Structures are given as C-alpha cells and as structure tokens.
C-alpha cells in the first residue's frame, strides 16, 4: 500500500464536534503537526471530512 503524509493547517476552534474528533482519530493534535498513514478508503473518507483543515502529500518510498 502507498502512504500519505497529512499535515494539519488550521485550528479546530469553532468547528463542529465531528471534525474535531476526526482530527483526533487521524492523530493530528496541533497546527503544523504531521502524520504518515496508509492510503486506505477509511483514511481518505476522514480526510474528505476535514479537507479544508489539512494538507495531503504522497510519500515516496
């Protein structure tokens, strides 16, 4: 499977609870925090929910 790097770019202040919980489940705690995850349909669905708050880049190798 390929991997993707997800970086949080915006704060969770004044966001709905579902978006805040999604960021927690992705493992993103603070602004500019990054995680590398497998590119699965479940992860892509979570990214779709908070796409305005994160930046996604593919990881080589």
Q: How high is the pLDDT of residue 55?
A: 98
Q: What's the pLDDT at 39?
A: 96
pLDDT digits (tens, 9 = 90+) for 8-24: 999 999 999 999 999 99
Per residue in 35-48, pLDDT tens? 999 999 999 999 99
Quickly tell me which residue has 């590119």 as its tokens: 39
What domains can be seen in the chain, in order of their start residue? 3-59 (3.30.1390.20)
Whole-structure pTM value = 0.93
**Strand pairing category for 54-59 and 34-38:** unpaired
Q: Cβ neighbours of residue 54 under 8 Å, at least 6 residues apart?
A: 6, 7, 8, 9, 10, 23, 26, 28, 47
């Amino acid at each position: 499977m390929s991997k993707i790097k997800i970086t949080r770019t915006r704060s969770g202040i004044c966001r709905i609870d579902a978006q805040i919980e999604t960021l927690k489940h992705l493992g993103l705690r603070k602004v500019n925090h990054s995680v590398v995850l497998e590119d699965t349909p479940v992860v892509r669905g979570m990214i779709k929910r908070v796409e305005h708050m994160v930046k996604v880049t593919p990881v080589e190798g």
